[in-house]
Amino acid sequence: MLTDDFHVFDTTLRDGAQREGISYSVGDKLAVARLLDTLGVGFIEGGWPGAVPKDTEFFARAADGELKLEHATLVAFGSTRKAGVGVAVDAQVRALLDSRASVVTLVAKSDVWHVERALRTSLEENLAMVSDTVSFLVGEGRRVFLDCEHFFDGYAHDRDYGVRVLEAAQEAGADVGVLCDTNGGMLPMGIAEIVAEVRSRVGIRLGIHTQDDTGCAVANTLAAVSAGVTHVQGTANGYGERAGNANIFSVIGGLVFKMGLDVLPAGTIGESQRVAHAIAEIANLAPDTHAPYVGSSAFAHKAGLHASAIKMGPELYNHMSPELVGNSQKILITEMAGRASVELKSAELGVDVTGRPEVVSSVVERVKEREAGGWSYEAADASFELLVRDELAGGSFSAPFELESYRAIVDRREDGTVVTEATVKVHADGRRVISTAEGNGPVNALDRALRQALGDVYPRLAEFELTDFKVRILPGKHGTDAVTRVLIETADAAGDWTTVGVHPNIIEASWLALADAVRFGLLPPSA
């Protein structure tokens, strides 16, 4: 089933842009539209031309050739004509035509409370506003979808009025009547019941638009589909007004993988994670690591018991194969790990521990013991890999250098300047090297001194860049002192890696993480 049999309608650029904190430039909107097109959605609602100047410009630039869509049709959003105003002279309606979009979504009131209290007009005039605006736009060659605002709340106030709105829209030539849970207060049972009832009363194709105020937007959307709607609206990452909209990646995942509906073109669903994260970047928001389907933790397993079953078959603890949405499974190594976790994680890192059960057991023991002392390997794969390699080599895994000693001095002078200096004494390549460097703090000075000391032996060190440094003070337990945990992220042209160090002294914790970063970065490719 494809194309017009089922509509996947994205409103990231209209309702999604109503989220607090999002402000796209026109260039951003064009980039988001291109990404959504690669996901294969059928419709992209680009904004409200005539109301929002950036949206007017977006449609103009799109129509002038800046937006070439392979799968999607661009949709302009606007409202029905104003009460008491002729449709042909209504400025907002004219702006919809001027946008040159071939499809228009009109928002219309479908709840008597809203007609009477918000629009402050008569129920009959509102029906005429729907009818006039739809037939005018259809007469101008546009395809029209009608968003029935507050449809579900309105059903509680007057269950016939919303149906009359849908009938007026259909008679005037609208293609879809979208039932909107505008205030987001519905639950799936109510949605399914009302959709089924409305379906039995009207002939127009029905759609669903849900807000996430009860945390049920995706469930409500899927419930509506199971009750017969064939047009679903959602936004990337669930962005939207207040608590957000139905997350389009979860909606698509549910439709395709759980309901067996073939709603996207062949092969595009594998773009889900990439598109989700790229749109988050453009929106200037951190991707939600725990988002269903597309979050980087969506298939992450921490519990040892989970890992032990996954070893027998990934399907035992995954509801689907993560690769189908462009994601991947992750095994986390923490105090909750067991032997299977260590085996799977080692395999993930490319370290072969097969036939070495004693190594696996001692890694598990070391991890548990160290985690009890404040270490955390969950985010420090590189330090974990070094630990496994060290155990495999019986504690004598070759290190690129040996530390003899280091010293860091912070000199706060009378004039207020602060000078930091560090000296390291290391042995590498059969030589003893002493090196001193200054830095903007003791860790920076140590890092510089170490690179300087090893630079001649390992020229690759010049490519390493310390990209992140996180410090956490962990409270002491049972009368012991607090310890400091340092996570260091290092990058070179080939990728990045994270290491950890823990010690009561912050400089030593940093040194341990720094030394691991260098050791890991200098591992030979075949290691």
Name beta bridge partners: 436.
423
Question: Which of 89, 79, 32, 24 shows the shortest CA–CA distance to 53?
Answer: 24
Task: Please list every residue from 131 through 150 that binds ligand ACO, using CB under 6 A.
Answer: 149
Residue 211: name its binding partner from ligand CC(=O)C(=O)O, ligand ACO, none (Cβ under 5 to 8 Å by kind): ligand CC(=O)C(=O)O
Using CB under 6 A as the binding rule, whether residue 37 contacts ligand CC(=O)C(=O)O is answered as: no
Pick from 54, 61, 82, 366 the residue near ligand ACO by CB under 6 A: 82
Strand partners, 453: none
Cβ pair 506, 374 in contact under 8 A: no
Two tokens at 325? 């949405």
380 neighbors 486 (Cβ within 8 angstroms): no
In the chain, the amino acid numbered 126 is N
From the list ligand CC(=O)C(=O)O, ligand ACO, none, pick the one residue 119 interacts with, judged by a Cβ distance below 5 to 8 Å according to partner type.
Answer: ligand ACO
CB atoms within 10 A of CB 148: 28
Residue 147 lies near ligand CC(=O)C(=O)O (rule: CB under 6 A)? yes
Q: Is 45 in the site for ligand CC(=O)C(=O)O (CB under 6 A)?
A: no
CA angle 156, 159, 162 (to 5 degrees): 110
- Contact set for ligand CC(=O)C(=O)O, span 399-458 (CB under 6 A): none
Applying CB under 6 A, among 76, 103, 180, 216 the residue interacting with ligand CC(=O)C(=O)O is 180
- CB-side exposure of 89: number of CA atoms within 13 Å? 4
Whole-angstrom distance, CA of residue 21 vs CA of residue 3 = 34
Minimum gap (Å) between residue 212 Cβ and ligand CC(=O)C(=O)O: 11
According to CB under 6 A, which one of 71, 109, 306, 503 is a site residue for ligand ACO? 109
Contact yes or no for 474/446 (Cβ under 8 A): no
Q: Which amino acid is at 43?
A: F
Q: Is 221 in the site for ligand CC(=O)C(=O)O (CB under 6 A)?
A: no
- Dig out the tokens for 58 from the structure: 């977006």
What span, in angstroms and rounded, lies between the C-alpha atoms of 143 and 382?
55
- Rule CB under 6 A: which of 168-227 touch ligand ACO? 182
End-to-end CA distance of the chain: 49
79 contact choice in ligand ACO, ligand CC(=O)C(=O)O, none (CB below 5 to 8 Å, kind-dependent): ligand ACO
**Cβ closer to ligand CC(=O)C(=O)O: 209 or 503?**
209
Hey, is 107 helix, strand or coil? strand
d(CA 239, CA 244): 5
Helices (H), 424-505: 442-454
Residue among 9, 12, 15, 353 that touches ligand CC(=O)C(=O)O (CB under 6 A): 15
Considering CB distances under 5 to 8 angstroms, the limit depending on partner class, which of ligand ACO, ligand CC(=O)C(=O)O, none binds residue 209? ligand CC(=O)C(=O)O
Residue 85 Cβ, how far from ligand ACO at the closest point, in Å?
9
What does the alpha-carbon distance between residue 186 and residue 102 come to, in Å, rounded to a whole number? 32
**Residue 498, SS3 per DSSP:** strand
Calculate Rg over the CA atoms of the chain: 30
Give the one residue of 41, 96, 103, 107 binding ligand CC(=O)C(=O)O; rule: CB under 6 A.
107
The residue whose Cβ lies closest to ligand CC(=O)C(=O)O is 180
For position 448 contacting ligand ACO by CB under 6 A, the verdict is no
Pick from 133, 211, 230, 247 the residue near ligand CC(=O)C(=O)O by CB under 6 A. Answer: 211
Q: Which residues bind ligand CC(=O)C(=O)O (CB under 6 A)?
A: 15, 107, 147, 149, 180, 182, 209, 211
Q: Which residues bind ligand ACO (CB under 6 A)?
A: 15, 18, 48, 51-52, 79-80, 82, 107-109, 118-119, 129, 149, 182, 241
